[in-house]
Every structure is written in structure tokens, then in C-alpha cells.
Structure 1
Amino acid sequence: MTTKPVIRLRNSMTRKTEDFTPIDENDVRMYLCGPTVYDRAHLGNARNVIMFDVLFRLLRHVYGQDHVTYVRNFTDVDDKINARAAETGRSISDITEETIGWYLEDMAALGNLEPTHMPRATQYIPEMIAMIEDLIAKGHAYAAEGHVLFDVRSYEEYGKLSGRSVDDMIAGARVEVAPYKRDPMDFVLWKPSGDDLPGWDSPWGRGRPGWHIECSAMSYALLGESFDIHGGGNDLMFPHHENEVAQSCCAHPKGDFARIWMHNEMLLVEGKKMSKSLGNFFTVRDLLDQGVPGEVIRFVFLSTHYGKPMDWTQKKADEAEKTLLTWKHIVDQERDLVTREFTANTPPKEIVEALADDLNTSLALTRTGQLAKQAKASGGAKCVELAEALHFLGFEHDKDWSVSYGYSLEKTLGQPVNLEDYETVLFNEWKTAKKSKDFSKVDELKAMLVAAGVEIRMNQDGVTLEFSKDFDPSKLEALK
């Protein structure tokens, strides 16, 4: 019997890295807070999607594709959406439908699998109303002036996730002070809607849900009162996730809600916080439209552990593109063999082990690079292993990269370009030139390679050539 790898994950609730033991190995369940759909997803929004996609792939590999349930929601009722509708004169449904389509297209471009379920908040209004009624009946919520509020003081463990006491939160947080609140920290479960706003009939009048109750109701409906993993950006830890814990544990006191909480750190751009005022604010679509391939974006994100701040830089993107091109070419060395023996479900053990160590994607990429060197040197089965590793990490081994990168390795030559042949030629010419002191032929060869978009590194031990994004194989014809 094959032994399952031990997966260890950092639990934000306990602040410890723990062995992951699912509640039910036949139904491993996880929930990720999805977007509020009123605009394009910015670059930072993609980080936890990629993080959870890697986790989804790992769990499916370990427990089986049919034994993992992944839920990521859409918040399609929210004041930001209402404001966008008022600002543009467009209907709310048009805005949310368009934005959901954008989001799915952009996340797919980054190599992410679609979750098992993608519920919309508006589809679960009855479940939200039922949960709110239950919280009132249990003494954890109260109605006031058309609103329903959660009584934070009724839940003794409030603040456990974020590690702060209620009194500290009141002192340090900006909270809405309203006359109908019993306590400044009490948060809205339901609020009234005028005729100009979306609304649903409820025991408290026509209204709409507060933000926090949405995820609690949807996760309960799709995953039950106890599930394995809940995630999101660390900016959601308070108040959103803290409030989810409180209302869910009070509504279902016999359950655990989420056993493990995972939070990714934030994104920087060229060393600074992303901000429209600084001119460094990008949506995912901005980069894709600028010609940055989705797989390059994914590679840059994976190069930093999710628990550390990630700095997006042009230099990292350029290096990622170069590395991916090199790895792709190495796989192409044995294209027929790879096509014949690729399985899509046998990732190299060392890659699985890296990801099982709290999603150490940086280590997984390092090990993929080591595997690429072995595959370049020996070819054969190692190229198949490299293809399996790329696929497991979300990089399609057989994708037509000419679409993403503007060229094909077989563009005009009719067969894959083998840069090793040119490395040998250049190195031999260089050794001859050292004896004759005539480097004109070497300089000519180097100039032609550079003109073809090949990057050159030379030293006394040898020559290394790498493709750049401007590679044009037709310009190598003169060297043949």
C-alpha cells in the first residue's frame, strides 16, 4: 500500500504548523473567500487563488480527485456593487455577470483549476435568513430598527483568530457607531433596503444581508458545520473571518466550523504597496493585455511562499519567462516520448514533498529547476518527469507556447531547436580562437545568436545559451 505523504499546514488559529488530518478522507473540504464582483481582479486578488489552487492540486493528488471539495464564492450583493450601478447607470445584474465572466477568464489564464462549487451570495438568501433567525433564537443576535446585529459579547472566544480582545479592538478600530447597536463591535447580519437597492423579504422587513453572514451560510450549505480548511488574504482575518467564526460557531455549537485557517501575506509592486496614487496598481488583465503570459504571473507568485510578502517586479517576470522557456524546450527534446508516457497524475516525489511542507512553492520550483538540469543532460525519462512536475504546478507541459510567447520552437526549422548544438559550435570556435588570437569568427557567431534572440553566457568551462522572449529561429538559419 502506498503511504500518503504527511501534509503540514500553518494554522492561523493556533499560530502553529500542524499535520493535516482531514475530518473525512473521502471528502476533504475547503473554502476560500472569493471576490466582490464589481470590477476587475487586481494582481493581489490572484495570490490566494493561486495558493489555494496549488493546495487543491496537492489534496486531489493525495486523497483522489473525487474526494476533495473546493468552494470559492462570489459576493454579488454588496454596497460597492450598488455604488457602481448608481455611478454607471447599469443594472446590478449586468455588472455582476460581466465581472464574474472577467474573473473566471483571468483566473483561468493564470493556470487555476475551477473549484468544485462557485456559489453566488444571491442564491443563498433563504439560508442566510434561516441562520440569522437561529442566532436570534439562541440569544446571539438581536433586531433593531430594521437591522439585525450579532451580539459580539455573547461569544466568549471572539478575537481568538486575530489574537485581540474585544476591548482592544474597540480602542484601536474604526467601527460604525449607530444608536441601534448595543455594543460598538456588534456587526450587521441584515440591513434594510430602500426601493432603489436590492432587497428580499424577511422577518425584519425588506432588506439585504451583511457581508459576513454570506460566507457562513454558503459554507454551511455546501460543506457542513465542520470542514477542513478556510482561507483568504490576511487582510480578511479581521473583521471578516473573525465574524465568520463567531456567527458560525454560535449557530452550530457542536461543529468546529473550519479546523485550519490559512492566510496569505500581501502583495507589493517594485517594493511598494500597490496603490493607484503611486501608479503601480495593476489588474490581472492589465498584465495579460501587456503581453505578460499568465504562466509567467503564476511562476512569479509561486516563487515566494504564501506566508511572506511578495514583491512583483519586472525583473522577476523577465527571469520567470526565461526559465519557463528553457524548461519547455527541455521537455521538447523528448516530445514524442513525453506525449506517449505523460500521465498527468505522477508528479515527482520531491515536488510533492515540497508542497506538502506548508505549500513550499519556492522549494518546489527550485527542485523543478534541478530536475530540468538532469533532464537536459540525460533526456529520456527525466523529460517526462519534468513534464509531470510542470503539469502538477499548473504549467501545461504540452501547451502551444507560440500563443503566449509569440514564437514557436519549430517556427521555420521544421524541428525543435537544440541550442546545445550551437553551444558546442561556439565553444569549439572560442577554443580555436584562444590559440590563434583571432576572435573574429567567435564575435560573428555571438552577434548572430544575439540577433536571433539568444542570450549567451561564456567562461573557460563552457558556453550556456538560453532563449529570450524575442527568440526568432529563422535567424539561426545562417549558422547551419
Structure 2
Amino acid sequence: MTIRLYDTATREVRDFVPLREGEAGLYVCGLTVQSEPHVGHVRSGVNFDVLQRWLRLRGYDVTFIRNITDIDDKILVKSAEQGRPWYNLAYAMRIELDKAYAALNVAPPTYEPIATGHIPEMIVLIERLIERGHAYAADDSSGDVYFDVRSWGSYGELTRQGVDDMEPAGDADPRGKRDPRDFALWKGRKASEPPTASWPSPWGPGRPGWHIECSAMAGKYLGGAFDIHGGGVDLRFPHHENEQAQSRAAGGAFASYWMHNAWITTAGEKMSKSLGNTLSVPGVLQRVSGAELRFYIVAAHYRSNIEFSFEALEEAASGYRRIVSFLERAGGDALRQPDADTVLAALPEAFASAMDDDLGTPAAVAVLYDAVREGNRLLAAGDAAVAGQVAAVGAMLDVLGVHPGDPAWTTSATRGSEERLSTAVDALVAGLLEERSAAREAKDWARADAIRDRIKAAGIEITDTADGSSWTIGG
């Protein structure tokens, strides 16, 4: 059966017909690494991980590019507020993002480019737009360069808006713009910004605008035309609208299909840092496992909002645990992750049909639950036919990325356990050191020595300095 996908540009479900037979080029806008990722952030990673898994299972050779935005207005603001270099903040938050993806078994893309590694490609693209009459350097000595939205007759086609109906682009001082809707391709360096946040260019030192980054990276790794561009629904405008306009104005066909995942909301609002309604991935994983959180996310259709609640999360987690319990009771190789050939052979037709229909995971999960119910009946009856249900359940779990035998869960669980253990040990030792310090201030040397001996007996070495005491694991 042909895979059918909802194309945001045409607003209809279309047969997936790749540009090159047997291949699929997929570009997904990754995160701007300004802060610790929350559950809403990682939904896009999970949803498009399911897409690339399904495309591969259906026989496509997938080139999957997911970028990282590591230079941006928000990164500069937050790093200044925290008194740290912007690149240190971006790097630290990227590490946290990698941990969050790993904890939810989001497979690495074919390549994950960072914006700051592609400045030359962005400059070349901007120069091409200027040569074609679709961009201009501001004449106010700012060093800014803008895309001329009125020069591109198709501007607004992705989101079906007229230029005059759009809000002004708020990404730069409007004084240098010909039209308030013109958006920044290059931002001249400001005196208030650190020198490290600028690069040389034909228009003076500065940094790229947000939108040009993705166009340049998508073009470098997937070419001027590729199959699918994905991202969160909040990126449709202005980001994806601007990406498409500048890329096509520069001469490329760009994406054939646009796919957007919906939000995870709390109290009806998009989960975001600015609203203060975020839930960090490590925080949520204190209550459920990574597999359970992923199952909660994939059980909803990628285009449907998820109204987050811990009650709904626990309900999904309980459902997942019942599935795993069936495999455990079946015994044998039931908990061993199947290979691709086994998955293809055992996958129920109804499940595959649901996935082929715009990644219909709710219907696919319903098939999964039905298979578990039938498996439990056969198991109770001692019927050997249960083996077929075990294979089917294992295949479906593998497609969704939640098979309990996947090594990713062992790795992420071990890593999470080690991190929690480290935090707990640090807190306990810190408490003992505070007690020892108080005893020493009270000149209760016997108590201070006793606390020191207890810590040392646990294999921990104490170092006393004028600034206080620190500790390390002995040996």
C-alpha cells in the first residue's frame, strides 16, 4: 500500500511520491538550544522519528537531516542574563537535548548540522538572493540584509496569507526595511553583542537571521529539491513560510511535502518557557520510564494536540506496562527485539494500513491493544497460537520505538539511574560535610572526626581548603 501523508501546503492527504525512487529526503527543524528541553520540545523529535522508522521499514533509503540552531537572539539574551558565553550556554543545552532524545529512544538523524558551522553557505545563499533582486542591504549602515517579500509573488502561499494581512517581522529594527514584513537574512553586529557572536561578511561583521540558517543547511545536505520538510506547527509562520520563499527565490524547488506536528498543551496553551508551564524531560522521567513517556506521545496522532496531565500520562504508562506484562508472561524470546525481516513478516495488516494512512498511530495502537487481548486469551487457554500474537505485538512495539528489548532502554535507564544516584550521593555527602563543619566550629573535634571517618569508610576522600571542604570518590 502507498504511504499517504498530510501536506500542510495543500491541506490534503497525498500519496507519497519521492523525487527519487526508493529514496526519501527528510529535513526537520530542530531546536534552538537556549534552555533545558521540555516535553513539548521533544514531541517533534519523537513524531518524526516514527516517520523515518516507518519510511525505512517500507523500503525507503532515508536521508534524515535535523538541525540545531546554536546562534539566535534568545540565546544571546539568556546567556547575558546568566553571565556566561553564548556558545557555552548553547553547547550545554545541546547536551541536555541529546540526553532527552536518547531517553525517549529518538534515533540520531543521518546528520545533525549546527547553524554556526554553515555561515559560508548562508552568505552564498544571501548573495544569490541579492543578485536575483529578492534581497537588499539596508542603507542605514546597520549591516543588516533583508529579504524583499514584495519581490516574490508567491510569498504567503504556504500559509495562504496575503502580504498586506501579515504582521510586521519583529526580527530587526524596521528603520532599514523597505517593507515592515521584510525579514532579516543577515544581522549586523551591535555594540551590545559579544564579538564572538559575529562573523565577517560582504556587509560587515554580523550573524545570520534565523530563517536563512535552515535553508542553507537543508540545501547543503539534501539539495535544492527534497521530499519532506517537517517541524512543529508553530513554525509554519513565519519560519517555514520564509524558508520556502527565500529558497525558491534563490532558484531551488525546496520541499515537496510539508508536515507539522501539533503542540503539547497545558490548560489549553502551548507548552513553552515563556508561559511558565513547562515540564522538563528529566523531571517527568522521575515519574515514568522513557518508554512509557514515548508511548504516551506516539499514541496520539501527530497532528492532534496533546493536553498534558499526569493522570493521562499514568494511564498510558499503565497500558504500556500491561503490554510488557503480556510479553513477560509469554516467556521465551518474547522480550527480545525483533529484526527488520521479522517485523515485516509479523506486522498485522491493519496496523500497517493505519501507519500508511498519515501515520495513524491511534488506530495502530488500537490494533496493538487488540493483539494483546487476544494474546492473553490464548495464553490463558494454553493455545500454541499465542506465538503469533507475541510476534505481532513485538513487531508493532518495534515500529513505534517502544519495544522493551530495545537496547536503547537499557542504556537510557542505566544512564538515568547513574545520574540520580550521583545526585543522591552528592546531597548526602554535602549534608554530612555541613554537620562536620558545624561540629568543627563548635570545637567538637570528636564528632567532626567521627563524621570524617564515616565518609572515608564509604570510599570518599575529603579535601579541606580555606574555601570549604570538597569530596571525591577515593581511588
Structure 2 unmatched runs, 5+ = 379-385, 415-475
Specify the alignment match of 1:435 in structure 2: none
What is the rounded CA distance, in whole Å, between the counterparts of 1:187 and 1:137 in structure 2?
17
What is the rounded CA distance, in whole Å, between the counterparts of 1:271 and 1:404 in structure 2?
32
Specify the alignment match of 1:245 in structure 2: 244
The answer on whether the counterparts of 1:106 and 1:284 sit within 8 Å (CA) in structure 2 is: yes
What is the rounded CA distance, in whole Å, between the counterparts of 2:205 and 2:49 in structure 1?
38
Specify the alignment match of 1:312 in structure 2: 308
Specify the alignment match of 1:178 in structure 2: 174
Specify the alignment match of 1:361 in structure 2: 361
The answer on whether the counterparts of 2:185 and 2:211 sit within 8 Å (CA) in structure 1 is: yes
1:128 to 122, 132, 136: 122
Specify the alignment match of 2:162 in structure 1: 165
Structure 1 unmatched runs, 5+ = 406-480
The answer on whether the counterparts of 1:36 and 1:75 sit within 8 Å (CA) in structure 2 is: yes
Specify the alignment match of 1:382 in structure 2: 389
The answer on whether the counterparts of 1:338 and 1:387 sit within 8 Å (CA) in structure 2 is: yes
The answer on whether the counterparts of 1:110 and 1:298 sit within 8 Å (CA) in structure 2 is: yes
The answer on whether the counterparts of 1:175 and 1:184 sit within 8 Å (CA) in structure 2 is: no
2:403 to 396, 400, 405: 396
1:127 offset after TM fit, Å?
0.2
1:396 offset after TM fit, Å?
2.2
Q: 1:339 to 1:41 in 2, by over 3 A?
A: closer
Write out per-residue CA displacement over residues 374-393 of structure 1, whole angstroms, 9 at most, x where no aligned residue. Answer: 22222222112211111111
Write out per-residue CA displacement over residues 238-277 of structure 1, whole angstroms, 9 at most, x where no aligned residue. Answer: 110000011000112xx32000001122221255543668
The answer on whether the counterparts of 1:270 and 1:313 sit within 8 Å (CA) in structure 2 is: no
What is the rounded CA distance, in whole Å, between the counterparts of 1:341 and 1:281 in structure 2?
33
What is the rounded CA distance, in whole Å, between the counterparts of 1:46 and 1:118 in structure 2?
15
SS for the counterpart of 2:176 is coil
What is the rounded CA distance, in whole Å, between the counterparts of 1:143 and 1:86 in structure 2?
28
What is the CA RMSD across the aligned residues, in angstroms?
A: 2.3
What is the rounded CA distance, in whole Å, between the counterparts of 1:15 and 1:282 in structure 2?
31
How is 1:221-240 mapped onto 2 (pairs within 5 angstroms)? 221-240=220-239
Identity across aligned pairs (percent)?
A: 41
Q: 1:177 to 1:76 in 2, by over 3 A?
A: closer
The range that moved more, 329-338 or 209-218, is 329-338
SS for the counterpart of 2:166 is helix
Structure 2 length-normalised TM: 0.79
The answer on whether the counterparts of 1:10 and 1:358 sit within 8 Å (CA) in structure 2 is: yes
Q: 1:170 to 1:117 in 2, by over 3 A?
A: same
Specify the alignment match of 1:419 in structure 2: none
Structure 1 length-normalised TM: 0.78
What is the rounded CA distance, in whole Å, between the counterparts of 2:17 and 2:284 in structure 1?
38
1:111 offset after TM fit, Å?
2.0
Instruction: Say how many residue pairs are matched.
Output: 395
The answer on whether the counterparts of 1:58 and 1:352 sit within 8 Å (CA) in structure 2 is: no
What is the rounded CA distance, in whole Å, between the counterparts of 2:258 and 2:404 in structure 1?
32
Specify the alignment match of 2:419 in structure 1: none
1:337 offset after TM fit, Å?
3.7
What is the rounded CA distance, in whole Å, between the counterparts of 2:275 and 2:147 in structure 1?
38
What is the rounded CA distance, in whole Å, between the counterparts of 1:31 and 1:340 in structure 2?
32
What is the rounded CA distance, in whole Å, between the counterparts of 2:170 and 2:336 in structure 1?
60
1:154 offset after TM fit, Å?
0.8
Q: 1:153 to 1:35 in 2, by over 3 A?
A: same
Specify the alignment match of 1:196 in structure 2: 194
The range that moved more, 344-353 or 22-31, is 344-353
Write out per-residue CA displacement over residues 139-183 of structure 1, whole angstroms, 9 at most, x where no aligned residue. Answer: 110011311110001110100111110001148x76756221111
What is the rounded CA distance, in whole Å, between the counterparts of 1:374 and 1:316 in structure 2?
25
The range that moved more, 93-102 or 268-277, is 268-277
Q: Which amino acid aligns with 2:145?
A: V
What is the rounded CA distance, in whole Å, between the counterparts of 1:118 and 1:218 in structure 2?
10
Q: Which amino acid aligns with 2:106?
A: N
